[in-house]
Chains A and B, each alone.
Chain A
Amino acid sequence: EPEVTQTPSHQVTQMGQEVILRCVPISNHLYFYWYRQILGQKVEFLVSFYNNEISEKSEIFDDQFSVERPDGSNFTLKIRSTKLEDSAMYFCASSSGGSYYGYTFGSGTRLTVV
């Protein structure tokens, strides 16, 4: 069964540093997403991406965040200057036809900001 692959599985970074979280979506999917889950809290929408541009973003997704699909296979989330409150599990997801077809999620990257 096709999978969404995320790397690394765990990243520790110092406050103020830039991090890039990487995702390889399912190859024939066209819609890509980032969600995050702070420990013990609910899964929160960050951003959706289609046709090489952001289609929706949440209020969490401020100027510190950016997404990119640099080479047609990877989908990255960059946090420019990490804060302690960015510590969370970040999930990438992809879909063949948008949210209402359901997502395939990756296994997540646990980001710890110290």
Chain B
Amino acid sequence: AQSVSQHNHHVILSEAASLELGCNYSYGGTVNLFWYVQYPGQHLQLLLKYFSGDPLVKGIKGFEAEFIKSKFSFNLRKPSVQWSDTAEYFCAVNAKTSYDKVIFGPGTSLSVIP
């Protein structure tokens, strides 16, 4: 069965600091990978996604993620965070053999201090 783990439960950063949120998945086959964000009081929004091709994908708001197949990882990065990036971040995976089901990680809560 697929599963997703995220390295940190809660991350606290100062504005302008660099961000890296870890994500690992367990599944032996081909996957699609996602990062979703949930701002306080709002619904889940897609940040970026990887299907195939260039393993470095760029998303909205300056976020990017790198797929490393050998490590089963899909870490999220941003060079310089802002206070408005304070949110819950969810890594998610979809096995290509189970195209209609996305499994979410437990989430990482990011707090950015001004």
Contact = CB atoms under 8 A, between A and B. Distances in A.
Interface of A: 31, 33, 35, 41-45, 48, 50, 55-56, 58, 91, 93, 98-100, 102-108
Given A42-B107, A43-B90, A99 B102 contact: yes
Nearest to A100: B32
Counting chain B CB atoms within 10 Å of each CB, the highest count among A58, A102, A105 belongs to: A102
Closest 6 interchain pairs by CB? A43-B104, A48-B100, A100-B32, A105-B44, A107-B43, A42-B106
A31 B34 CA distance: 18
Given A43-B90, A105-B43, A98 B99 contact: yes
A33 B104 CA distance: 14
Contact of B100 (A42, A43, A56, A91): A56
B46 A103 contact: yes
Nearest to B33: A100
B70 interface: no
Interface of B: 32, 34, 36, 42-46, 49, 51, 90, 92, 94, 96, 98-107
B96 A91 contact: no
A33 B101 CA distance: 9
- If over half of A's interface residues share one DSSP class (helix, strand or loop), that class is named, otherwise mixed; here it is strand
Contacts of B46: 102-104
B95 to A, nearest CB: 9
Nearest to A108: B43
Given A43-B44, A99-B32, A102-B34, A50 B104 contact: no
Counting chain B CB atoms within 10 Å of each CB, the highest count among A42, A91, A98 belongs to: A42
A106 B36 CA distance: 13
A11 to B, nearest CB: 17
A103 B43 contact: no
Contacts of B103: 45
Given A42-B105, A42-B106, A42-B107, A98 B100 contact: yes
Contacts of A107: 42-43
18 contacts: A35-B104, A41-B106, A42-B104, A42-B105, A43-B104, A48-B100, A50-B100, A56-B101, A58-B101, A93-B44, A98-B100, A99-B94, A100-B51, A100-B96, A102-B34, A104-B46, A105-B43, A105-B45
